[in-house]
Structure 1
Amino acid sequence: METFEIKTTFLIVGGGIAGVSCAENVSFMCPGEKILLITESYLIKAVTNLRCLGKMVQSFEVEEKEVKDSKLNENVDVLEDSVIQVCSEEKMVLTKSGKKIFYSFLCLCTGAQPKLIQQGNPFIFGIRDTESVLDFQEKVKSSRRLVIVGNGGIASEIVYELGNIEVHWVVKDSFISSTFADPGAAEFFQKKLEESEKPGKPILKRMRYKGESMTSGSLKGAALGPDWHRKIDISGGKSKHSLEIHYKTEVSNIKSTENEEYPLEITLSNNKVIPCDFLVSATGVDPRISHIPTDVSFELGKDGGIKVNEMMESSVENIFAAGDVCCAGWDLAENWFQMRLWTQARQMGAMAGRSMAAKFKNEPIYQDFCFELFTHATHLFGYQVVLLGNFNGQGLGQDYEILLRYTPDLEYIKFVMKDGRLKGVILIGETGLEETCENLILNGLDLTPFGDDILNPDVDIEDFFD
């Protein structure tokens, strides 16, 4: 194997949203320095069509760029390769193709991998990156019945977008979309699932690339962006569509069947048996760090991610981490917590880029204000969904109250209040309240004088607080 050396000031590993955001910020702050981004796939993912819904809440789409013969920008070179060894004492990484890359600062943005219910089964799919979605799309076309396990964003998106197939959705909770919603919001979404027809979709041209088998649980491609499900057709081979939701249920057994009508037989904890063409495992992710050996072990967080401080620095000198691979190890702000979402991947990647540049220049830097308030904007079941602060009462114990405004088929607004102050918000639909709610949470204003009128539709709260 031919070996040759490369020297770079900044080395970023990972072509997902975190890695690309990191590279863009380093490039902006250090335009004269050499920056190298290593990605395992043929594609890198960049944020595009950024739209500010408030001062901190932002929605965006993800653009896929082909690596071959291209640069991220004038200052960033992109290398299609994979890291197989990190030698922190030498400030060097070894790649699969035999390259030795010497760096001054390294940032690991290797993301996460799906927690598959069963490894190595070709009829169990994990949805994580573009290739897995395209393979899933092809599989659905010839299928009549599938089982989806999980109750988060990806599971909800798949269930809503599927057509012409018999779907069995297995959720461990008593309501759907528990990662982002509460029982009231789940009921609001439920009517959308019952619609017989959905809006038409534009044709989406996506580049295809090769990666490791998705049945291995070690996907190489970057994570899906927030728009994937809105532009891709996933229709099955049946003429009619049906959905059955199995609440408070888990998978107790998976059996591969030969010479049967369906290749899989799924047994649920309620003893119901479901023969199916395949199963989609959407039960969360694990930080993806085990595939990169290091000479010095990283200090890990409680969730198994690389523990980082507020500057996104790991326990190993001059090595940073951002996105799904890391675990926030600093004293968190009252209204912020970590979730492995593309929104935070972008924020962490940008913070890591600025931190590396500041350390290189020996300049002081402070943590970005975005880490003062949890924010996330997405689309579920055809609605815009904005989450702010402790939107489901996270960390507030039992001592809080909820105010709701619910207009069927139009909007769902939930305020989480504690001691008269707004602590968290769920906004579903085009409410226009994003910036006002940001200000109310961050300012900690006492809203007791307004009582329940704070969500009275006849009271325009924007006029009071903007």
Structure 2
Amino acid sequence: KRMAHKVEKTFKFVIVGGGIAGVTCVEQVKIRARTSNPSSFSFVIFEKVSKVLEEFDVEERPSSVLEEKFPNLMVIHSAVKSLHTQSHSVETADGRVFGYEKLCICSGGRPKLLTQENPYVLGIRDTDSAQELQKRLSKAKRIVVVGNGGIALELVYEVEGCEVIWAVKDKAIGNTFFDAGAAQFLIPSLEADKPERAAPCKRPRYTTEEPAAGASQTFTAGLHLGVYLIFSYPAVESAPGSSLGSWPVYIQLTNGKTFGCEFVVSATGVVPNTEPFLHGNNFALADDGGLRVDDHMMTSELDVYAAGDVCTACWEHSPLWQQMRLWTQARQMGWYAGRCMAAHVLSEPIELDFCFELFSHITKFFNYKVVLLGKFNGQGLGPDHELLVRCTKGREYVKVVLSGGRMVGVVLIGETDLEETFENLILNQMDLTPYGEELLNPNIDIEDYFD
């Protein structure tokens, strides 16, 4: 297909997307590729830039921060309209065309929404959608949160002065990250008063208003922060102006109950954001819709790489690693993709990065530090694995997954200080059979033991 306009400029490296994967990719390309012609270094298409800090906090920065850091970087504030892999060029939404030698797609994922059409259904994915949610929350009396991943867990804990109906299709909360035991450990955090914030809360923290009459028996007892947890899922939404009452939107659950609310937050995961790269090209896609990448982050199209939520890791995984669409992995993939692009241009060999040896993720849920390592939920291990669990109510939850006497996964909730020791035990695959349950004996200082 002929390009509408001729190529304005060709760059050695083009990175599409200003999220975590894109920014870390840019940084690595810059560090690794000592190009002789600095003006042809790189260009990035994006509308906003996220900068990743070591503790995995994410902060938005203007693109000028990157441009000052890398003088030979050009930032284009426009979305990509089309990609032409044959001619190695991309066209932006404002009609400009740029050529590339190496391209990396870091366009992330978009929220899986319950329905695309309804203005009362909100997806949360980035700071823009979070700000829109904040604006709507300030006036809301009741919302429904649907989903059981990280965003849902954060939302139900953080929302104040507004009733929250939390619809979860699984048998326990947070099953992306936890088993039922860890979920039970966290539930009391929804019941307890939260630690005081630095700034006083302008709206009342608790609500005494009950949900629709006759429905209260479906709620988990004791969640008096105004979070009502229902193990059910939306079937349909009723139209506004329904005979049920005056709420703007109604949601019907698979348990037969219907609730009215101001709006519904759809926090049910993401879909790889592959539009508009597929049209006219021959990308191999994985079952989950992501761009298939090999162990050098290369797609099936020549000179096109991908990193972060848009791609699916299709090399043979380490037995202790799995892909989950998380910020930590977007950062690792972007970093590694940048290194691969530079290595290929410089004809240098490169091996799969060590970060893909062991799955690791650190986050915070319900104000507890949470560390996940390896096959933390026994993923793909079958029935022959065993679990060791230690739980101190309100303080810590420790779960170790053993397979053939060797540690293969860990869930740590609270300030356990065990992550480094357990990470080493997983990596060195030492036979722990002789230690049995003593591994989690609180009277043994395990860090010194395995030092």
**Same fold per superposition (TM over 0.5):** yes
Shift of 1:256: 2.1
After TM superposition, list the pairs within 5 Å mapping 1:93-242 onto structure 2: 93-201=90-198, 240=208, 241-242=225-226
Q: Which residue type is aligned with residue 38 of structure 1?
A: V
Of the three residues 230, 252, 257, the one matched with 1:246 is 230
Structure 2 Cα separation of the partners of residues 197 and 63 of structure 1:
24
Structure 2 Cα separation of the partners of residues 72 and 292 of structure 1:
30
Shift of 1:237: 9.7
Matched residue, 1:63 = 59
Q: Which residue type is aligned with residue 335 of structure 1?
A: L
Q: Which residue type is aligned with residue 253 of structure 1?
A: V
Structure 2 Cα separation of the partners of residues 451 and 286 of structure 1:
42
Shift of 1:292: 2.8
Moved over 4 A (4+): 1-4, 233-241
Matched residue, 2:8 = 5
The answer to whether the 8 A contact 2:80-2:92 is kept is yes
TM-score (normalised: structure 2): 0.90
Q: Deviations over 1:309-350 (max 9, x none)?
A: 011000111100000000011000000010000000000001
Q: Which runs of 5+ in 2 are unaligned?
A: 209-224
Structure 2 Cα separation of the partners of residues 356 and 9 of structure 1:
10
Secondary structure of the structure 2 residue equivalent to 1:398: helix
After TM superposition, list the pairs within 5 Å mapping 1:37-436 onto structure 2: 37-41=43-47, 43-48=48-53, 50=54, 59-67=55-63, 71=67, 73-74=69-70, 75-201=72-198, 240=208, 241-247=225-231, 249-258=232-241, 260-436=245-421
Matched residue, 2:213 = none
Shift in CA distance, 239/403, structure 1 to aligned 2, threshold 3 Å: closer
Shift of 1:238: 7.6
Shift of 1:437: 0.9
The answer to whether the 8 A contact 1:140-1:237 is kept is no
The answer to whether the aligner puts 1:464 opposite 2:442 as a matched pair is no
Shift of 1:441: 0.8
Secondary structure of the structure 1 residue equivalent to 2:416: coil
Structure 2 Cα separation of the partners of residues 321 and 17 of structure 1:
13
Shift in CA distance, 39/92, structure 1 to aligned 2, threshold 3 Å: closer
Structure 1 Cα separation of the partners of residues 419 and 191 of structure 2:
28
The answer to whether the 8 A contact 1:141-1:234 is kept is no
The answer to whether the 8 A contact 1:18-1:348 is kept is yes
Shift in CA distance, 394/101, structure 1 to aligned 2, threshold 3 Å: same
Shift in CA distance, 112/239, structure 1 to aligned 2, threshold 3 Å: same
Q: Which residue type is aligned with residue 87 of structure 1?
A: H
Q: Which residue type is aligned with residue 338 of structure 2?
A: G
After TM superposition, list the pairs within 5 Å mapping 1:25-36 onto structure 2: 25-32=28-35, 33=38, 34-36=40-42
Structure 2 Cα separation of the partners of residues 202 and 306 of structure 1:
44
Secondary structure of the structure 1 residue equivalent to 2:57: strand
The answer to whether the aligner puts 1:20 opposite 2:23 as a matched pair is yes
The answer to whether the 8 A contact 1:38-1:81 is kept is no
More deviation, 347-356/24-33:
24-33
The answer to whether the aligner puts 1:446 opposite 2:420 as a matched pair is no
Secondary structure of the structure 2 residue equivalent to 1:441: helix
Structure 2 Cα separation of the partners of residues 234 and 368 of structure 1:
47
% of aligned pairs identical? Answer: 44
Say how many residue pairs are matched. Answer: 426
- The structure with higher relative contact order (CA 8 Å, sep 6+) is 1
Structure 2 Cα separation of the partners of residues 175 and 234 of structure 1:
32
Shift of 1:4: 6.1
Q: Deviations over 1:27-57 (max 9, x none)?
A: 001244434343442x200112x1xxxxxxx
Shift in CA distance, 302/45, structure 1 to aligned 2, threshold 3 Å: same
Matched residue, 1:228 = none
Shift of 1:65: 1.0
Q: Which residue type is aligned with residue 153 of structure 1?
A: G
Structure 2 Cα separation of the partners of residues 72 and 418 of structure 1:
50
Larger Rg: 2
Structure 2 Cα separation of the partners of residues 101 and 387 of structure 1:
42
More deviation, 159-168/257-266:
257-266
Q: State the Cα RMSD in Å.
A: 2.0
Q: Deviations over 1:394-453 (max 9, x none)?
A: 010111110011111111110001111101000111111111111111111000110100
Shift of 1:304: 0.9
Q: Which residue type is aligned with residue 67 of structure 1?
A: S
Matched residue, 2:218 = none
Shift of 1:191: 1.1
